[in-house]
Structure 1
Amino acid sequence: MDTHTHHTGVTTGTPGPRRRALRAVVAGAVVLAAVAGGAYAAGLGPFERDTGPDPAAGRQARAFLADWAAGRVPAAADRTTSPGTARRVLDSFTTGLDISEPKLTPGTATETGDGTVTVPFTARMPVTGLGTWTYSSKLPLREQGDGTWKVDWRLSLVHPRLSETEKFRLEREETEPPEVTDRDGTTLSAADHPSLAPLMTRLAGGGDTGTGARGAIRLIDRATGKVERTEASFGAKTVRADKGPVATTLDADWQSAAERALAAHAHGRNAALVALRVDDGEILAVANSPASGFNRALSGTYAPGSTWKIVTSSALLLKDAVAPDDVVDCPKYLTVGKRFQNVELSEHPGATFRKDFTESCNTAFISLRDRLDDGELGEVARRYFGVGQEWHVGAPTFDGSVPVPKDETEKAASMIGQGRVQANPLIMASVTATAVSGTFHQPSLTAGTEDTTETTPLPEDVVTQLRAMLRATVTDGTAKVLAGLPGDVGAKTGTAEVSDDQDNNGWLVAHRGGVAVACVVEEGVTGGGSAGPVVHDLLAAVPDDSE
């Protein structure tokens, strides 16, 4: 094995340009910020409270974390008392440790008694090709002479053990990935299927946490290079003794079509897709753009936007809180602590609930929030769809999160897949499969995975209603991009706001025959316009739906 090392500390880095994207108001979106790891964007803070420390300090902390998580290092540095040093350290920390797309979740601000405000946060740092390093730290904030607040810069806020005398080093032990075969025994190579390259290293160790690539993050003395402690270890403790092929549920045709569709329509944006079988949850394709690095399809944490209305509709239909033909007005605006709105301020007076679903009306869905108990949406997601339970897929995954809302504004947001609701293409493909079959099947990538989930089947009448609404969304609603495809295609579009200076993420989920598909395109603006062409090309290329 060859060992490669990367160092990080206070080094000189070249910051990338600060990107200023025009904010789009699109279907399924609300004026709400939810950075993909839970950090809020600058200036929005819809869940702020009036008690405790100066709210401006909390806003500045969340804005700093949002900028850092989104890769806007110069912007994050400018929010500190030492912008030049902060920029160099943040750049070298993430670059030197091969960290991509940090997930930074702020806690509650507290006053420390010395004129500063402290905001704790949890850091989930994905180390490329290895795994996620999770730790906790704190942001100190100090009021400036002009009354504004800034992050009081110090090395320890990046990580509690980062200091003038100690820094971190990444060590890798490279191993050859195993031979991987699809469901028919066809060999899958990284050359033919680039998106599988990071996944193949994960399969080498076997199981959800095994990884062929192994490594560690060490805390070292800056002067001597002596290792003081190991902060995180990655990879299987033992390498597979069996050097035979790893058999997967993947299908070479579906995988190739998925990668071609992303390559044709991602246009340089981050994107991900999962296709799986409805009747047993076996995964047919996992594709990411870019193909190397973070596996967004299985481990990403995104607000699912209006695709989540499948779960919200299920919760409402399960308790007869609404019926498809009931009139549920769709006004331009609805205020619940803040103003929510629809695409281009659209409105549909006298609309039925079915039309609210097919047109993805935010205000209509939010108006029904009182018909669900505060924790009911999360309970339905867990009980019927398996979301939030622990999945054993055969590779590392994020299995979803639907927290009980903190207040009415957050409850309103959760009705339309925003707030703190988090998912990814794997979860939303599974949600779609469950909705149209009535039964949750734990997704699987390899045979023999453990299944510890416990779910209840959806009633047949609810499944019938969901299938009809998904089909109507293709024939008469926001998913008409799929209308020309053969077969009984059903779908739901979605859009999720990320931050005030980034375009919205675009989503589309669909099912046809025995396959369910979910796709997200970061900063895709609309689901139909960005994820729609990807799913269209995939389904057009693979007419056999693996029934």
Structure 2
Amino acid sequence: MTHPSSSPATGSWTTTTHQHRGRRRALRAGIAVALAAATATAAAACGTSLTGPGTPKAAGTPDPAAAAEAQAFLADWAGGRLDSAASRTTDPAKAQEVLRNFTAGLDLGKPELTPEPAGLQGDHSVRVAFTAKMPVTGLGTWTYRSELPVRKQEGGAWKVDWSMSLVHPRLSDSAKFRLDREDTSPPKVTDRNGAALTGDDLPSLRPVLAQLTKGGSAPRGAIRLVDRATGEVTGTETTFGAEDAKPSDKPPATTLDATWQAAADKALADKAGGKNASLVALRVDNGEILAMANSPATGFNRALSGTYAPGSTWKIVTSSALLIKNAVKPDDVVDCPKYLTVGKEFHNVETSEFPGATFRKDFTKSCNTAFISLRGKLGDSELGDVARDYFGVGQEWHVGIPSYDGSVPVPRDETEKAASMIGQGRIQANPLVMASVTATAASGRFHQPTLVPGGADTTSTKPLPPAVVDQLRSLMRATVTDGTAHVLADLPGEIGAKTGTAEVSEKDPNNGWLVARRGNVAVACVVEQGVTGGGSAGPILHSLLAAVPGDPS
């Protein structure tokens, strides 16, 4: 049986709890009312209005809707939506006109407009400062600060209070901006006679001219503030480009000769047959480069930077080494068999042979086997020594633009020594090197090739013995009259030359070479996969020498 007091006890706890909760609610409500009254009193004292139930706004805080309208205006302006941007102002027609005309003639790209936090002004308008970054095509970025006044309109909407100065503080009915660009195009390059050289007229020179002018100076310009009525400049807003970017008034001069260069370009265009080819012409007496040409005309400068086996044109250097030692004389008999084996089988072009030939005939007919048979007359490093000490090959040349100046490594074995006697193996050269070799053989003295007058010369060489020079001239002349360079025999002048056929690989056709000297000019030409020198490089140099019959001034 349940005790009569148990139920009342439970009921008594429940009732008490509800009473406590009720008293707590009443207490909280009282506190809230008191706080609300206190807040209202404080707000009245401070001049703050409440924008919504329980959402106080401190003094000086702008309406978020005003800031949003300013940001939307900037976003439309930056996005090129000028009609939309203008519609957010108090004068849409004028705003659209000014926003469109502001960029006229300034070459401005898409702007970057970054707003700052909005602030209230004394006249109850909202001010939104912003940073403008205006990219000026080809020059840089024009950066400035301005601000937008935003005012509440009748009906409660916020609008940008239009004025020209919000676009830029100095823009007005009487002042506007103008872009002035300075001409910093690459300076004209001239030839030895002061004639302008251009890549349009002389295609092979395009990459060379870019190297000589280093691509031109950095662009320069300025944004000027000008009077709308008179056009007078009243101030400079910003400038672009370094002070030292202004090009020199004096164009760079070169040793090139426009007549020789034009003839070289035309000779390659007409006679190279679409093959990769290059040539160099230079003065014998001082090494000044008169022309350099490449086919194709643009891209890699094979003439000065190519690395080729020079083939039999190298026999000029080999003959010099033999003649300096008196190891052979032009009229000595040096047999020319079809084949000669030195670790591998060497042969002559078209497996020709000349039994009982003299050294002179070996040179004029370019007999490989005869030259290889004389390898024992030279020490292993002697060919390289003569190339360096007399012809400057392998020394550092300061031409005026980058160049490869040849290499004659000491042969690693007897087979490589045999190959080096005929310009194969690891010997490397290019038309610049071989034109210089030809000039040295003709004059007896190495002159560092130069493209830009007044460059440094750190080379050190010694002159060829006069008797050797006479013998080399005679051998090269006979190669034109009676030998493999007969392609040049119909040209006037005492032309001396040497052909070359350089093996590249067992699968690819040989490169064709020809070097020649006429008067005070030495020339060298290589045609990749030209098969023979006389057949491929011959017509090119014939065209060149026929087009320019005299020496340069």
**Equivalent residues in 2 for 1:50-65 (5 A)?**
none
Q: What's the counterpart of residue 251 of structure 2?
A: 245
Identity %: 74
Letter in 2 for 1:204: T
CA contact (8 A) 1:274 1:517 kept: yes
Which of 253, 271, 278 is matched with 1:272 structurally?
278
Question: Does residue 482 of structure 2 align to residue 473 of structure 1?
Answer: no
Query: How much has 1:177 moved relative to structure 2?
Result: 4.0
Which of 530, 543, 551 is matched with 1:545 structurally?
551
Which of 187, 195, 209 is matched with 2:204 structurally?
195
CA contact (8 A) 2:187 2:247 kept: no
Q: Which has the higher helix share?
A: 2
Q: What's the counterpart of residue 184 of structure 1?
A: 193
**RMSD, aligned CA:** 1.5
Task: Deviation per CA, 1:63-121: give whole Å up to 9, x if none.
Answer: xxxxxxxxxxxxxxxxxxxxxxxxxxxxxxxxxxxxxxxxxxxxxxxxxxxxxxxxxxx
Q: What's the counterpart of residue 402 of structure 2?
A: 396
Q: What's the counterpart of residue 524 of structure 1?
A: 530
Query: How much has 1:178 moved relative to structure 2?
Result: 3.2
Q: What's the counterpart of residue 318 of structure 1?
A: 324
**Equivalent residues in 2 for 1:276-295 (5 A)?**
276-295=282-301
Which of 373, 377, 388 is matched with 2:379 structurally?
373
Letter in 1 for 2:289: I
Distance in 2 (CA, whole Å) between partners of 1:240 and 1:390 is 32
In structure 2, relative to structure 1, the CA distance for the partners of 1:382 and 1:213 (3 Å cut) is: farther
Distance in 1 (CA, whole Å) between partners of 2:493 and 2:324 is 28
In structure 2, relative to structure 1, the CA distance for the partners of 1:182 and 1:353 (3 Å cut) is: same
Distance in 2 (CA, whole Å) between partners of 1:286 and 1:367 is 36
CA contact (8 A) 1:204 1:239 kept: no
Task: Deviation per CA, 1:142-171: give whole Å up to 9, x if none.
Answer: xxxxxxxxxxxxxxxxxxxxxxxxxxxxxx
Q: What's the counterpart of residue 46 of structure 2?
A: none
In structure 2, relative to structure 1, the CA distance for the partners of 1:452 and 1:482 (3 Å cut) is: same
Query: How much has 1:241 moved relative to structure 2?
Result: 5.2
Question: Does residue 401 of structure 2 align to residue 386 of structure 1?
Answer: no
In structure 2, relative to structure 1, the CA distance for the partners of 1:500 and 1:193 (3 Å cut) is: same
Tell me, what secondary structure is at the counterpart of 1:387? coil
Segments ≥4 residues shifted beyond 4 Å: 211-214, 238-241
Query: How much has 1:204 moved relative to structure 2?
Result: 1.4
CA contact (8 A) 1:307 1:494 kept: yes
Task: Deviation per CA, 1:357-396: give whole Å up to 9, x if none.
Answer: 0000000000000100000000000000000000001011
Task: Deviation per CA, 1:251-270: give whole Å up to 9, x if none.
Answer: 01000000100001111110
Tell me, what secondary structure is at the counterpart of 2:281? strand
Task: Deviation per CA, 1:244-294: give whole Å up to 9, x if none.
Answer: 311000001000000100001111110000000000000000100000000
CA contact (8 A) 1:204 1:240 kept: no
Which of 429, 434, 441 is matched with 1:435 structurally?
441
Question: Does residue 412 of structure 2 align to residue 406 of structure 1?
Answer: yes
Distance in 1 (CA, whole Å) between partners of 2:193 and 2:473 is 31
Tell me, what secondary structure is at the counterpart of 1:537? helix
Distance in 1 (CA, whole Å) between partners of 2:186 and 2:329 is 51
Distance in 1 (CA, whole Å) between partners of 2:437 and 2:525 is 13
Distance in 1 (CA, whole Å) between partners of 2:335 and 2:479 is 18
Q: What's the counterpart of residue 501 of structure 1?
A: 507
Letter in 1 for 2:474: A
CA contact (8 A) 1:309 1:417 kept: yes
Query: How much has 1:472 moved relative to structure 2?
Result: 0.1
Q: What's the counterpart of residue 492 of structure 1?
A: 498
**Equivalent residues in 2 for 1:58-73 (5 A)?**
none
Distance in 2 (CA, whole Å) between partners of 1:177 and 1:191 is 14
In structure 2, relative to structure 1, the CA distance for the partners of 1:213 and 1:396 (3 Å cut) is: farther
Distance in 1 (CA, whole Å) between partners of 2:248 and 2:428 is 37
Question: Computing the radius of gyration over CA atoms, which structure comes out larger, 1 or 2?
Answer: 2
Distance in 1 (CA, whole Å) between partners of 2:438 and 2:187 is 32
CA contact (8 A) 1:491 1:508 kept: yes
Which of 209, 213, 234 is matched with 1:204 structurally?
213
Query: How much has 1:546 moved relative to structure 2?
Result: 2.2
CA contact (8 A) 1:178 1:200 kept: no
In structure 2, relative to structure 1, the CA distance for the partners of 1:240 and 1:413 (3 Å cut) is: farther
Query: How much has 1:496 moved relative to structure 2?
Result: 0.5
Q: What's the counterpart of residue 360 of structure 2?
A: 354
Distance in 2 (CA, whole Å) between partners of 1:336 and 1:177 is 55
Distance in 2 (CA, whole Å) between partners of 1:519 and 1:408 is 30
**Equivalent residues in 2 for 1:102-113 (5 A)?**
none
Letter in 2 for 1:199: V
In structure 2, relative to structure 1, the CA distance for the partners of 1:439 and 1:240 (3 Å cut) is: farther
The count of aligned residue pairs is 345
Letter in 2 for 1:247: A
